[in-house]
Amino acid sequence: MSDVMHEKVEKALETIRPYLIADGGDVQLIKVTQEGIVEVKLTGACSDCPMSQMTLRAGVERALIREVPGIRRVEAVN
């Protein structure tokens, strides 16, 4: 997607990043596809946490869909 969309997603991630960092983790934006799919990499404690899929769906995905029009889904990549 466009650089503008990439910047909007990055800005939205900044709003939730402090919560992840507080638990010893973080999220890195990999890419945003034309279809509105955001690929992220969970790092730190988030990378092997058994709750990471819940964090991804209930936290990261919900925030991005709410903040950035056109985002449909968030997927974790390695």
3-76 CATH pick, 3.40.50.720, 3.30.300.130, 3.40.50.1580, 3.40.640.10: 3.30.300.130
* Positions in the chain short of pLDDT 70: 1
| E strands in 1-78 | 25-32, 37-44, 73-76
Helix (H, G, I), strand (E, B) or coil at 49: coil
Question: Residue 78: what pLDDT?
Answer: 82
Q: How many residues make up the chain in this entry? A: 78
What percentage of the chain has pLDDT greater than the value 70? 99
Q: Where are the domains of the chain?
A: 3-76
Which pair of structure tokens corresponds to residue 11? 């800005």
Question: Residue 1: what pLDDT?
Answer: 58
